[in-house]
Amino acid sequence: MVALIVTAVVVSLAGLVVVQLLLLANARQLKEQAFRDNAINAMQTVVRQLETREAASQVVRFAGLGTHGKAVQVMAVAVNDSALRQFHLDSSGALRLSSSQRPVWVDSGVLHYQVPSRGRVTIVARDSATGKSVTLVDTERAPGAYRLKLDDSLVASRSLFLRLDRGDTAAFGMRINCFNPPGQGQPAKDSNRMLIVSQVLDKLVMGETVPIEQRLDSTVLDSLLATSFASAGIDLEFMYAVISQDNDSVHLASAGLGRSAARTSDLATRLFPSDLLSIPATLVVVFPDRTGFVARQLFPLTAATTAFMIVISLCFIYSIVTIMRQRRFAQLTVDFINNMTHEFKTPLSTVGLACDALARPDIAANGDQVRRYESMIRDENDRMRSNVDKILQMAVLEEGDYELTISDIDLHAVIESAARGIALQVESRGGQLELRLAASPSLVAADPMHLSNIVANLLDNAAKYSTDSPHISLTTRVDGKSVILEVSDRGPGIAQRDLQHIFEKYYRVRTGNVHNVKGFGIGLSYVKLMTTAMGGTITLASEPGRGTTATLTLPLVG
């Protein structure tokens, strides 16, 4: 059942990881698409700005308003139009919105103009339909406001340009296209705009085709692109190129942008799309750090998803490890109960038999037999009490309810005392106990009682787990500020899978249902607990068939 649950959770976790990866991939695609849309929109804004600049230049040239080294202000107005639209076309050809000041305007057939300082004033009217020019004013003027009644023929013109030169650094151009012949109504709202567009289009159609490199300025194009990308939130280094579709040639390419990279870029838009008669040209842009930019935008989402997945995975692993530990501990508890039952069954049976024997009249009359059975009962009772004490003591020690009495102890004296207790058992089995006590000094800081129990436990394990004739050696040496005791035997050894659990409570090397060695599996757990409490370490090294070596390290005095 546990395996089924673990499998289901693993499959679910794997599915969750796959789903998150798919969602991240989808989010990356959306970010890529959003980046492309923003970049294309910014490029199209630049295209519209380029078209506006070119159209404004064409209007000025078409109206005969050359700059002649001066800044020109072009105004598109209507009769009685209080919301005057005024634009500034500087000597470089840049079209900008100007101030609201009106140096010249027309109202009800009357031309109004302002003279800021004394100087010569020239006003020229040009009929764009006939090409005729008429000088209206050409005289010296004092500062002030002036009015001039326009001739009816000029008022009736639907395509009239006025040029005002005031002798200062500025020239003003004005197009009047909203005058109506007598008896006619006001033209449509956009008629003046449509007239300008139609005249400019006629001029472009009748003129020669201009090469794309002559219609663009790389400095202006670079500046417009940088400004437009910054407004779109794309603060990245970029490279651009203009590709002509007649011979697939590349013009105005940024330094470092290869021809293949320019042709394969997905960021491309048509230049001058309203110009239907010229050779089509495409503006392409490449962002070298585009991938990194998208990745940085996805970093918070990716980091959060990764962190959550790691936390979930760690919690899952911890849960599985805990479940497996609890399962193993439950099995160890069952084994402990079985071992305890086995250990108590023999003395209880012996006590029961002795009691039955004492109840017999022939035994009760024999004093020697009575004393023998009483001694048997006492020994078995002491044995059971000793086992119970071990179990209760281990429970108390694990709860931390103990006090250590640390003092200076001669480790060699403790070893010799424990060796005398086990020597008879080893010799009775034809074995050998060898002491090589070479540590000097041998005084350790430890609790006398617990240190004696630790050494006794190690010797007892070496003896009872050795088959046939046990051969046990105890060796001591000094290593730095510690003394090391090694207890070695030539027993059957311990497999690696058991060795990593050997210090766990209730753990015993599995021998099936054969209980040829008595014990509860708490001896080495006790040794580990007390050794650590006294500031020492205990390790076990073993190979199956080659014996086991227990290494006890304790701090020297001083």
Domains of the chain and any CATH numbers: 1-58+209-288 (no CATH), 63-206 (no CATH), 333-397 (1.10.287), 403-555 (3.30.565.10)
Highest mean pLDDT among 92-101, 292-301, 472-481: 472-481
Does 8 score more than 90 pLDDT?
no
pLDDT of residue 436: 92
Residues in the chain: 558
- Distance between the two ends of the chain, CA-based, in angstroms? 56
SS3 206: helix
pLDDT of residue 60: 58
Tell me how far the alpha carbon of residue 417 is from its chain's centroid: 63
Does 175 score more than 60 pLDDT?
no
Mean pLDDT over all residues of the chain?
A: 75
User: Between 398 and 444, whose confidence is greater?
Assistant: 444
- For range 421-430, the mean pLDDT: 80
For 301-345, write each residue's pLDDT tens digit. Answer: 888 888 888 888 888 888 888 888 787 777 767 666 666 666 666
| Range of lowest pLDDT (218-227, 374-383, 384-393, 429-438) | 384-393
- For range 154-166, the mean pLDDT: 64
Phi, psi of 495 (to 5 degrees): -70, 155
pLDDT of residue 443: 92
Does 554 score more than 50 pLDDT?
yes
- Which run of H or of E encompasses 289? none
Residues paired with residue 255 on neighbouring β-strands, in sequence order: none
Peptide bond into 441 cis (omega under 30): yes
Does 142 score more than 60 pLDDT?
yes
- For range 359-380, the mean pLDDT: 77
Does 537 score more than 70 pLDDT?
yes
| Range of lowest pLDDT (123-137, 222-236, 499-513) | 499-513
For 177-193, write each residue's pLDDT tens digit. Answer: 444 433 344 444 444 45
The DSSP result for 446-468, as a single string, is: E-HHHHHHHHHHHHHHHHHT--S
pLDDT of residue 463: 83
CB 161, CB 63: distance < 8 Å: yes
Q: For 157-190, where are the alpha helices, taking DSSP H only? A: none
For 46-75, write each residue's pLDDT tens digit. Answer: 998 888 877 766 665 555 444 444 444 444
Contacts of 333 (CB under 8 A, 6+ apart): 506
CA distances from 486 to 418, 445, 476 (A): 14, 18, 6
pLDDT of residue 161: 66
CA distances from 364 to 177, 274, 354, 401 (A): 147, 131, 11, 47
Does 547 score more than 90 pLDDT?
no
pLDDT of residue 453: 83
For 338-369, write each residue's pLDDT tens digit. Answer: 666 666 666 777 777 778 777 778 777 777 77
pLDDT of residue 218: 84
- For range 170-179, the mean pLDDT: 51
pLDDT of residue 4: 81
Residues of the chain with pLDDT > 70, as a percent, come to: 69
pLDDT of residue 302: 87
CB 242, CB 259: distance < 8 Å: no
pLDDT of residue 216: 83
Tell me how far the alpha carbon of residue 23 is from its chain's centroid: 15
pLDDT of residue 486: 93
For 445-464, write each residue's pLDDT tens digit. Answer: 988 888 888 888 888 888 88
Tokens 């009962």 correspond to what residue? 377
pLDDT of residue 390: 62
